[in-house]
Amino acid sequence: MTEESRTPFSEWLRSRSEPDWASVVTHPFAEAIGSGTADMRRYLEQDFQFVDAFTALLGAAVAAADTLEARVAVGRFLGQTVADTEHSYFHRALAELGGEPAPPAQPVTGEFRALMDEVRLSQDYPLILAVLCVAEWTYLGWASRTTEPPQGFVHREWIELHSGPEFEAWVGFLRGELDRLGPGLDEDGRARVLDVFRRATTLERRFFDMALG
């Protein structure tokens, strides 16, 4: 058994997405969210547009998944978190910050939406999982580094949405799906998932760069 075949697929993808992966998880903008000092208005205005395409991608994952258990797990997260807690957070936070719900998209927002649309239209479950997993696992990474919750709700609730046992279980589910499906892919299939995983990781880093200004 080679080292590569023993490594879970999700870990193999992550390790091949360095150095951008570490740059996202330790990004100065993420650290500023953790300390409650980040200027969240422009970031959340752009992220609200990200979340629109992300929500559509979750719907595509429900449709493309190969098991009922997976459809239920994704559908539950979509309904209970994205369409409920997170959606209400965006409206309250944008109102607090005087942000607009639909300002012009920054180039990185447009490129991220284009990648999500590309994999959504492919209806290829492992490719869809690759983008979902990068988006959620990188966010768990930076949000879990916060030790002292910031005072204001805009920073604090954004961290709470991306950390804690429920979010860890969600990321564990996404990683588990990639780990389950990876060994059944041929070399070309694995390369296609890696390509999407890397592109999404680079876009996460560039999204934080944009937010930093």
Ligand X SMILES: Cc1ncc(CN)c(N)n1
Task: Compute the least distance from the CB of residue 2 to ligand X, in Å.
Answer: 33
Give 47 or 177: the residue with its C-beta nearer to ligand X. 47
Q: Is 204 a catalytic residue?
A: yes
Of 9 and 207, nearer to ligand X (C-beta) is 207
Q: How far is the CB of 90 from ligand X (least distance, A)?
A: 9
Per CB under 6 A, residues contacting ligand X are: 47, 50-51, 135-136, 139, 204, 207
Side chain identity, residue 16: R
Smallest distance from ligand X to CB 7, Å: 24
- Select 125 or 170, whichever has its Cβ closest to ligand X: 170
- 3-state secondary structure string across the chain: CCHHHHCCHHHHHHHCCCCHHHHHHCCHHHHHHHCCCCCHHHHHHHHHHHHHHHHHHHHHHHHHCCCHHHHHHHHHHHHHHHHHHHHHHHHHHHHHHCCCCCCCCCHHHHHHHHHHHHHHHHCCHHHHHHHHHHHHHHHHHHHCCCCCCCCCHHHHHHHHHCCCHHHHHHHHHHHHHHHHHHHHCCHHHHHHHHHHHHHHHHHHHHHHHHHHC
- The residue nearest ligand X at its CB is 135
Give CA angle at 177 (173, 180), nearest 5°. Answer: 130
**47 assigned binding-site residue:** yes
Least distance from C-beta 6 to ligand X, angstroms? 29
Q: Which is nearer to ligand X, 45 or 204 (CB)?
A: 204
Q: Is 100 marked as binding a ligand?
A: no
Q: Which of 45, 157, 177, 204 is catalytic?
A: 204
Residues identified as active-site: 204
Could you list the residues known to form a binding site for substrate, using ranges: 47, 86, 136
